[in-house]
Amino acid sequence: MLYAGLGIGNMVQKKTYEHYKKMVEEGKNKNPQVSSTLENFFENIDDQQQEVQDKMKEIFQTIADKLGFVKIEDYEYLQKRIKTLEADLAKEKNKTK
């Protein structure tokens, strides 16, 4: 639900920014102070959105750690390690025959 809210916010921000850029291109916004204020506003939105995403990632990571979930990187490493060990074991079995 939170991601849906972020998605809607992102969509609104993009549409507003596109409209703003179109106004600038058409020459409807010639006030440099307004342009500067809007640019700062959009930058702040991007920064705040990144902060929220970082915080959500941190929260999800904390929950995953507490529940004992395995990171995909660790899982893939262990899969490769098992395959290597199985191959080594098969080679050893063939040598003893």
> How far is 48 from 6, CA to CA, in rounded Å?
11
CA-CA distances (angstroms) from residue 87 to 6, 17, 74? Answer: 47, 56, 20
Confidence of residue 3 (pLDDT cuts 50, 70, 90): low
Pick 51 or 1 by higher pLDDT: 51
**1 pLDDT higher than 60:** no
6, 16, 4: which is closest to 53 by C-alpha?
Answer: 6
| Tens digit of each residue's pLDDT (9 = 90 or more) over 44-96 | 777 877 888 899 889 988 998 899 888 899 999 999 999 999 999 999 988 87
CB 10 within 8 A of CB 49: yes
DSSP codes, 35-53: HHHHHHHHHHHHHHHHHHH
